Amino acid sequence: MKITQIVLASRPNGLPVLENFRTEEKELKSINEGEVLLGACFFSVDPYMRGRMNDSKSYAASYELNNPIVGACVARVIESRSPGFTIGDFVVGYLPWATNSIAKAEALRKIDTHLAPLSYNLGILGMPGLTAYFGMTEICKPKAGETVVISGAAGAVGIVAGQIAKLREAYVVGIAGTDEKCKLLKEQFGFDEAINYKTLQLTDKIIAGICPKGVDAYYDNVGGEISSSVFANLNFHSRVAVCGQISQYNRLKPAIVPTILPEILTKSILVQGFIVGNFSSRFGEGFAHLTQWVKEGKLKYKETIVQGFDKLPEAFLDLFSGKNLGKMIIEVG
Ligand code: NAP
Protein backbone atom coordinates (compact mmCIF):
# COMPACT_ATOMS: atom_id res chain seq x y z
CA MET A 1 0.00 0.00 0.00
CA LYS A 2 1.34 3.43 -0.95
CA ILE A 3 0.99 6.08 1.77
CA THR A 4 1.86 9.73 2.24
CA GLN A 5 3.82 10.81 5.32
CA ILE A 6 5.28 14.02 6.73
CA VAL A 7 8.79 13.90 8.18
CA LEU A 8 11.02 16.27 10.11
CA ALA A 9 13.27 17.70 7.38
CA SER A 10 15.31 20.03 9.62
CA ARG A 11 15.30 21.33 13.17
CA PRO A 12 13.87 24.80 13.79
CA ASN A 13 15.92 27.72 14.97
CA GLY A 14 13.33 29.71 16.92
CA LEU A 15 9.85 29.73 15.39
CA PRO A 16 9.36 26.62 13.20
CA VAL A 17 8.71 27.14 9.47
CA LEU A 18 7.09 24.99 6.78
CA GLU A 19 10.55 24.09 5.44
CA ASN A 20 11.20 22.11 8.65
CA PHE A 21 8.73 19.52 7.29
CA ARG A 22 8.79 17.37 4.13
CA THR A 23 6.01 15.30 2.55
CA GLU A 24 6.96 12.03 0.94
CA GLU A 25 5.45 8.80 -0.32
CA LYS A 26 6.26 5.40 1.09
CA GLU A 27 5.31 1.77 0.57
CA LEU A 28 3.74 0.24 3.71
CA LYS A 29 4.69 -3.38 4.53
CA SER A 30 2.06 -5.96 5.49
CA ILE A 31 1.00 -6.34 9.12
CA ASN A 32 2.24 -8.92 11.61
CA GLU A 33 0.48 -10.83 14.37
CA GLY A 34 -0.66 -8.41 17.12
CA GLU A 35 -0.74 -5.42 14.76
CA VAL A 36 -3.46 -3.40 13.03
CA LEU A 37 -3.50 -1.38 9.82
CA LEU A 38 -5.00 2.07 10.35
CA GLY A 39 -6.42 4.86 8.23
CA ALA A 40 -5.95 8.27 9.86
CA CYS A 41 -9.14 10.29 10.49
CA PHE A 42 -8.17 13.17 12.83
CA PHE A 43 -4.79 14.41 13.99
CA SER A 44 -4.05 16.60 16.98
CA VAL A 45 -1.32 19.22 16.88
CA ASP A 46 -0.09 20.21 20.35
CA PRO A 47 2.40 22.81 21.60
CA TYR A 48 4.59 20.18 23.34
CA MET A 49 5.48 18.84 19.88
CA ARG A 50 7.62 21.95 19.38
CA GLY A 51 9.99 20.69 22.08
CA ARG A 52 10.29 17.34 20.33
CA MET A 53 11.59 19.10 17.20
CA ASN A 54 14.70 20.13 19.17
CA ASP A 55 17.69 17.90 19.59
CA SER A 56 17.66 18.16 23.36
CA LYS A 57 16.71 15.93 26.25
CA SER A 58 13.24 16.40 27.72
CA TYR A 59 10.35 14.36 29.08
CA ALA A 60 9.35 13.43 25.50
CA ALA A 61 11.97 12.05 23.11
CA SER A 62 13.19 14.22 20.20
CA TYR A 63 11.82 13.53 16.73
CA GLU A 64 14.50 12.08 14.49
CA LEU A 65 15.48 13.85 11.29
CA ASN A 66 13.93 12.33 8.14
CA ASN A 67 11.50 10.28 10.23
CA PRO A 68 7.77 11.00 10.50
CA ILE A 69 6.46 13.42 13.11
CA VAL A 70 4.41 11.49 15.66
CA GLY A 71 1.31 12.87 17.37
CA ALA A 72 -2.06 11.95 18.79
CA CYS A 73 -4.43 10.60 16.15
CA VAL A 74 -7.88 9.10 15.84
CA ALA A 75 -7.84 6.37 13.21
CA ARG A 76 -10.06 3.64 11.76
CA VAL A 77 -9.03 -0.02 11.73
CA ILE A 78 -8.71 -1.23 8.13
CA GLU A 79 -7.14 -4.63 8.81
CA SER A 80 -6.54 -6.42 12.10
CA ARG A 81 -4.36 -9.28 13.28
CA SER A 82 -5.27 -8.66 16.89
CA PRO A 83 -8.27 -10.26 18.64
CA GLY A 84 -9.00 -6.93 20.38
CA PHE A 85 -9.78 -5.00 17.19
CA THR A 86 -12.05 -5.53 14.22
CA ILE A 87 -12.33 -3.70 10.92
CA GLY A 88 -14.26 -0.46 11.37
CA ASP A 89 -13.22 0.11 15.01
CA PHE A 90 -12.04 3.61 15.83
CA VAL A 91 -8.93 3.97 17.97
CA VAL A 92 -6.78 6.71 19.45
CA GLY A 93 -3.01 6.51 19.77
CA TYR A 94 0.28 8.23 19.09
CA LEU A 95 0.79 7.63 15.38
CA PRO A 96 3.07 8.89 12.62
CA TRP A 97 1.88 11.81 10.50
CA ALA A 98 0.88 9.42 7.70
CA THR A 99 -2.33 8.71 5.81
CA ASN A 100 -2.09 5.07 6.90
CA SER A 101 0.06 3.36 9.50
CA ILE A 102 0.65 0.06 11.24
CA ALA A 103 0.46 -0.01 15.04
CA LYS A 104 0.84 -2.57 17.79
CA ALA A 105 -2.59 -3.29 19.26
CA GLU A 106 -1.43 -2.66 22.85
CA ALA A 107 -0.45 0.93 21.98
CA LEU A 108 -4.05 1.83 21.00
CA ARG A 109 -7.22 2.66 22.92
CA LYS A 110 -10.54 1.67 21.36
CA ILE A 111 -13.00 4.57 21.22
CA ASP A 112 -16.57 4.27 22.45
CA THR A 113 -18.17 6.13 19.54
CA HIS A 114 -21.41 6.75 21.46
CA LEU A 115 -19.85 9.07 24.03
CA ALA A 116 -18.90 12.11 21.97
CA PRO A 117 -17.63 13.18 18.54
CA LEU A 118 -14.53 11.17 17.57
CA SER A 119 -12.22 14.20 17.61
CA TYR A 120 -13.04 14.91 21.28
CA ASN A 121 -10.70 12.01 22.08
CA LEU A 122 -7.84 14.31 21.06
CA GLY A 123 -9.10 17.20 23.18
CA ILE A 124 -11.51 17.36 26.05
CA LEU A 125 -11.65 13.54 26.35
CA GLY A 126 -7.96 13.14 25.59
CA MET A 127 -4.61 14.43 26.80
CA PRO A 128 -5.55 18.17 26.96
CA GLY A 129 -8.76 17.48 28.93
CA LEU A 130 -6.91 15.27 31.41
CA THR A 131 -4.23 17.95 31.76
CA ALA A 132 -6.85 20.56 32.62
CA TYR A 133 -8.61 18.19 35.01
CA PHE A 134 -5.56 17.21 37.07
CA GLY A 135 -3.88 20.63 36.99
CA MET A 136 -7.04 22.33 38.21
CA THR A 137 -8.33 19.76 40.70
CA GLU A 138 -5.00 18.58 42.14
CA ILE A 139 -2.85 21.73 42.09
CA CYS A 140 -5.04 24.84 41.78
CA LYS A 141 -7.75 23.29 44.01
CA PRO A 142 -10.12 26.26 43.79
CA LYS A 143 -12.74 26.84 46.46
CA ALA A 144 -16.07 28.64 46.04
CA GLY A 145 -15.58 32.40 45.84
CA GLU A 146 -11.83 32.23 45.18
CA THR A 147 -10.28 34.01 42.21
CA VAL A 148 -8.68 31.80 39.57
CA VAL A 149 -6.69 33.18 36.62
CA ILE A 150 -5.96 31.07 33.53
CA SER A 151 -3.53 32.07 30.77
CA GLY A 152 -3.87 30.51 27.32
CA ALA A 153 -7.51 30.42 28.38
CA ALA A 154 -9.15 29.95 24.97
CA GLY A 155 -7.09 26.92 23.97
CA ALA A 156 -7.61 23.18 24.32
CA VAL A 157 -6.48 23.02 27.96
CA GLY A 158 -7.49 26.51 29.13
CA ILE A 159 -11.16 26.29 28.09
CA VAL A 160 -11.59 23.09 30.10
CA ALA A 161 -9.55 24.29 33.10
CA GLY A 162 -11.68 27.45 33.36
CA GLN A 163 -14.95 25.56 33.24
CA ILE A 164 -13.78 23.13 35.93
CA ALA A 165 -12.94 26.13 38.14
CA LYS A 166 -16.47 27.45 37.45
CA LEU A 167 -17.91 24.06 38.51
CA ARG A 168 -16.11 24.71 41.82
CA GLU A 169 -17.86 28.12 41.96
CA ALA A 170 -14.70 30.18 41.66
CA TYR A 171 -14.46 33.65 40.10
CA VAL A 172 -12.65 32.86 36.84
CA VAL A 173 -10.55 35.24 34.76
CA GLY A 174 -9.14 34.14 31.40
CA ILE A 175 -6.25 35.66 29.46
CA ALA A 176 -6.31 35.17 25.68
CA GLY A 177 -5.06 36.77 22.48
CA THR A 178 -8.13 38.14 20.62
CA ASP A 179 -11.34 39.99 21.46
CA GLU A 180 -13.32 37.17 19.81
CA LYS A 181 -11.73 34.60 22.12
CA CYS A 182 -12.41 36.79 25.18
CA LYS A 183 -16.05 37.32 24.17
CA LEU A 184 -16.55 33.58 23.74
CA LEU A 185 -14.91 32.76 27.07
CA LYS A 186 -17.47 34.96 28.82
CA GLU A 187 -20.55 34.29 26.71
CA GLN A 188 -20.20 30.57 25.98
CA PHE A 189 -17.87 29.18 28.60
CA GLY A 190 -19.00 31.06 31.69
CA PHE A 191 -15.76 32.89 32.52
CA ASP A 192 -16.43 35.95 34.70
CA GLU A 193 -13.82 38.11 32.99
CA ALA A 194 -11.46 37.76 30.03
CA ILE A 195 -8.53 39.95 29.03
CA ASN A 196 -6.97 40.31 25.59
CA TYR A 197 -3.23 40.46 26.34
CA LYS A 198 -2.49 41.65 22.81
CA THR A 199 -4.53 44.84 23.05
CA LEU A 200 -4.07 45.49 26.76
CA GLN A 201 -0.43 45.54 27.88
CA LEU A 202 -0.71 43.42 31.02
CA THR A 203 0.78 44.97 34.13
CA ASP A 204 0.48 44.18 37.83
CA LYS A 205 -2.06 47.02 38.09
CA ILE A 206 -4.27 45.73 35.26
CA ILE A 207 -4.48 42.30 36.88
CA ALA A 208 -5.14 43.94 40.27
CA GLY A 209 -8.05 45.89 38.71
CA ILE A 210 -9.64 42.72 37.31
CA CYS A 211 -8.91 40.63 40.40
CA PRO A 212 -9.71 43.07 43.25
CA LYS A 213 -9.49 40.31 45.88
CA GLY A 214 -6.13 39.11 44.55
CA VAL A 215 -5.47 35.76 42.86
CA ASP A 216 -5.93 32.51 44.79
CA ALA A 217 -4.98 30.13 41.99
CA TYR A 218 -3.16 30.61 38.70
CA TYR A 219 -3.27 28.00 35.91
CA ASP A 220 -0.28 28.95 33.79
CA ASN A 221 -0.19 27.86 30.16
CA VAL A 222 2.08 30.57 28.78
CA GLY A 223 4.76 31.88 31.19
CA GLY A 224 6.87 34.97 30.46
CA GLU A 225 5.65 38.51 31.10
CA ILE A 226 1.96 37.52 31.33
CA SER A 227 2.72 35.24 34.26
CA SER A 228 4.85 37.89 35.99
CA SER A 229 1.89 40.27 36.06
CA VAL A 230 -0.30 37.56 37.62
CA PHE A 231 2.38 36.53 40.11
CA ALA A 232 2.50 40.03 41.56
CA ASN A 233 -1.15 39.61 42.57
CA LEU A 234 -1.05 36.17 44.17
CA ASN A 235 -2.59 35.89 47.63
CA PHE A 236 -1.26 34.28 50.78
CA HIS A 237 -1.37 30.45 50.38
CA SER A 238 -2.25 30.69 46.68
CA ARG A 239 -1.50 27.86 44.25
CA VAL A 240 0.14 27.96 40.81
CA ALA A 241 -0.11 25.06 38.35
CA VAL A 242 2.73 25.47 35.85
CA CYS A 243 1.21 23.57 32.94
CA GLY A 244 2.81 25.19 29.89
CA GLN A 245 5.22 27.97 28.89
CA ILE A 246 4.27 28.46 25.25
CA SER A 247 5.57 32.06 25.18
CA GLN A 248 9.06 30.61 25.67
CA TYR A 249 9.03 27.61 23.30
CA ASN A 250 10.39 29.47 20.27
CA ARG A 251 12.66 31.91 22.05
CA LEU A 252 16.36 31.58 21.45
CA LYS A 253 16.98 33.16 24.86
CA PRO A 254 14.51 32.95 27.78
CA ALA A 255 12.57 36.09 28.72
CA ILE A 256 14.01 38.13 31.55
CA VAL A 257 11.24 38.47 34.12
CA PRO A 258 11.26 39.62 37.75
CA THR A 259 12.38 37.06 40.28
CA ILE A 260 9.40 35.40 41.97
CA LEU A 261 11.09 33.59 44.84
CA PRO A 262 10.64 36.38 47.44
CA GLU A 263 6.92 36.48 46.57
CA ILE A 264 6.70 32.68 46.93
CA LEU A 265 8.43 32.86 50.29
CA THR A 266 6.55 35.74 51.90
CA LYS A 267 3.12 34.60 50.71
CA SER A 268 3.65 30.84 51.22
CA ILE A 269 2.70 30.20 47.59
CA LEU A 270 2.66 26.66 46.23
CA VAL A 271 4.11 26.52 42.69
CA GLN A 272 4.00 23.15 41.01
CA GLY A 273 5.07 22.18 37.52
CA PHE A 274 3.50 19.01 36.19
CA ILE A 275 3.27 16.75 33.17
CA VAL A 276 -0.09 15.07 32.65
CA GLY A 277 1.67 11.69 32.62
CA ASN A 278 2.40 12.18 36.34
CA PHE A 279 -1.26 11.28 36.84
CA SER A 280 -1.39 8.31 34.44
CA SER A 281 -2.52 5.89 37.16
CA ARG A 282 -5.62 8.08 37.59
CA PHE A 283 -6.50 8.69 33.91
CA GLY A 284 -9.58 6.44 34.28
CA GLU A 285 -10.96 8.68 37.03
CA GLY A 286 -10.24 11.87 35.03
CA PHE A 287 -11.76 10.43 31.86
CA ALA A 288 -14.90 9.34 33.74
CA HIS A 289 -15.42 12.82 35.25
CA LEU A 290 -14.81 14.64 31.96
CA THR A 291 -17.12 12.28 30.05
CA GLN A 292 -19.86 12.70 32.63
CA TRP A 293 -19.60 16.52 32.59
CA VAL A 294 -19.67 16.58 28.78
CA LYS A 295 -22.76 14.32 28.76
CA GLU A 296 -24.50 16.52 31.34
CA GLY A 297 -23.67 19.66 29.37
CA LYS A 298 -21.60 21.01 32.27
CA LEU A 299 -18.50 21.21 30.09
CA LYS A 300 -18.74 22.78 26.65
CA TYR A 301 -16.06 22.51 24.05
CA LYS A 302 -14.79 24.21 20.95
CA GLU A 303 -12.60 22.98 18.12
CA THR A 304 -10.89 24.58 15.16
CA ILE A 305 -10.99 21.88 12.48
CA VAL A 306 -8.66 22.25 9.50
CA GLN A 307 -9.32 20.02 6.49
CA GLY A 308 -6.61 18.01 4.74
CA PHE A 309 -3.62 15.88 5.68
CA ASP A 310 -1.28 18.27 3.85
CA LYS A 311 -2.34 21.09 6.22
CA LEU A 312 -0.77 19.41 9.28
CA PRO A 313 2.46 21.48 9.38
CA GLU A 314 0.60 24.77 8.82
CA ALA A 315 -1.97 23.97 11.51
CA PHE A 316 0.85 23.15 13.93
CA LEU A 317 2.62 26.46 13.20
CA ASP A 318 -0.69 28.31 13.65
CA LEU A 319 -0.73 27.32 17.34
CA PHE A 320 2.06 29.83 17.89
CA SER A 321 0.13 32.73 16.39
CA GLY A 322 -3.09 31.76 18.16
CA LYS A 323 -5.15 30.94 15.04
CA ASN A 324 -6.96 28.18 16.95
CA LEU A 325 -9.99 28.72 19.12
CA GLY A 326 -10.24 25.72 21.38
CA LYS A 327 -8.57 22.52 20.20
CA MET A 328 -6.69 22.55 16.90
CA ILE A 329 -7.66 19.44 14.91
CA ILE A 330 -6.79 18.31 11.40
CA GLU A 331 -9.42 16.19 9.66
CA VAL A 332 -7.87 13.83 7.15
CA GLY A 333 -11.06 12.47 5.62
P1 NAP B 1 -3.71 25.78 22.83
O2 NAP B 1 -3.93 26.76 23.95
O3 NAP B 1 -4.89 25.09 22.27
O4 NAP B 1 -2.92 26.50 21.67
C5 NAP B 1 -1.87 27.33 21.92
C6 NAP B 1 -2.35 28.76 22.25
O7 NAP B 1 -1.31 29.42 22.95
C8 NAP B 1 -2.60 29.63 21.03
O9 NAP B 1 -3.90 29.47 20.52
C10 NAP B 1 -2.33 31.04 21.53
O11 NAP B 1 -3.56 31.62 21.99
C12 NAP B 1 -1.43 30.82 22.75
N13 NAP B 1 -0.10 31.39 22.50
C14 NAP B 1 0.74 31.11 21.47
N15 NAP B 1 1.87 31.82 21.59
C16 NAP B 1 1.74 32.57 22.72
C17 NAP B 1 2.57 33.53 23.38
N18 NAP B 1 3.78 33.85 22.91
N19 NAP B 1 2.10 34.11 24.52
C20 NAP B 1 0.89 33.79 25.00
N21 NAP B 1 0.05 32.90 24.43
C22 NAP B 1 0.48 32.29 23.30
O23 NAP B 1 -2.69 24.72 23.38
P24 NAP B 1 -2.98 23.66 24.53
O25 NAP B 1 -2.88 22.32 23.94
O26 NAP B 1 -4.21 24.04 25.27
O27 NAP B 1 -1.73 23.87 25.48
C28 NAP B 1 -1.67 25.00 26.33
C29 NAP B 1 -0.38 24.96 27.12
O30 NAP B 1 -0.39 23.81 27.96
C31 NAP B 1 0.87 24.85 26.26
O32 NAP B 1 1.90 25.62 26.85
C33 NAP B 1 1.22 23.38 26.32
O34 NAP B 1 2.58 23.14 26.11
C35 NAP B 1 0.77 23.05 27.74
N36 NAP B 1 0.41 21.65 27.97
C37 NAP B 1 1.02 21.03 29.01
C38 NAP B 1 0.70 19.74 29.33
C39 NAP B 1 1.36 19.10 30.52
O40 NAP B 1 1.29 17.86 30.65
N41 NAP B 1 1.98 19.88 31.38
C42 NAP B 1 -0.22 19.04 28.54
C43 NAP B 1 -0.86 19.71 27.49
C44 NAP B 1 -0.52 21.03 27.22
P45 NAP B 1 -3.74 33.22 22.14
O46 NAP B 1 -4.56 33.65 20.98
O47 NAP B 1 -4.43 33.33 23.44
O48 NAP B 1 -2.36 33.83 22.13
CA of 251 to the centre of ligand 1 (A): 15
Containing H/E element for 17? Answer: none
pLDDT class of 75 with cuts at 50, 70, 90: very high
Within 10 Å of residue 278's Cβ, how many Cβ atoms? Answer: 13
Domain extents in the chain:
2-122+302-331, 127-277
Q: Give me the amino acid identity at 31.
A: I
Q: What is the mean pLDDT of residues 124-149?
A: 98
Question: Does residue 279 have a pLDDT over 90?
Answer: yes
Q: How far is the CA of 155 from the centre of ligand 1 (A)?
A: 6
On average, the pLDDT of the chain sits at 96
Asked if domains 2-122+302-331 and 127-277 share a fold, the reply is no
Asked whether the predicted pLDDT for residue 255 surpasses 90, the reply is: no
Report the nearest atom of ligand 1 relative to the CA of 323.
Answer: 9
Ligand 1 atom closest to residue 248's alpha carbon, by position in its atom list: 18
Ligand 1 test: best mutation among 151, 246, 278, most atoms within 8 Å of CB?
A: 246
Is domain 2-122+302-331 classified as CATH 3.40.50.150? no
pLDDT over 90 at 210, yes or no: yes
Confidence check: pLDDT of 333 > 90: no
CB atoms within 10 A of CB 113: 12
For a mutational test of ligand 1's pocket, the pick from 139, 149, 221, i.e. the residue with the most ligand atoms closer than 8 A to its C-beta, is 221
Summarize the confidence of residues 300-317 as an average pLDDT: 98
Which one is the CATH code of 127-277: 1.10.10.10, 3.30.60.50, 3.40.50.720, 3.40.50.1110?
A: 3.40.50.720
Grouping H, G, I as helix, E, B as strand and the rest as coil, residue 164 is helix
Q: Using the mean position of ligand 1's atoms as its centre, give its distance from the Cα of residue 249 in Å.
A: 10
Res 38: pLDDT: 98
pLDDT at 218 over 80: yes
What separation in Å is there between the alpha carbon of 47 and the centre of ligand 1? 6
HEC-encoded secondary structure of 94-123: EEECECEEEEEHHHCEECCCCCCCHHHHHC
Cα angle value 227/233/239 (rounded, 5°): 75
pLDDT band at 152 (very low <50, low <70, confident <90, very high): very high
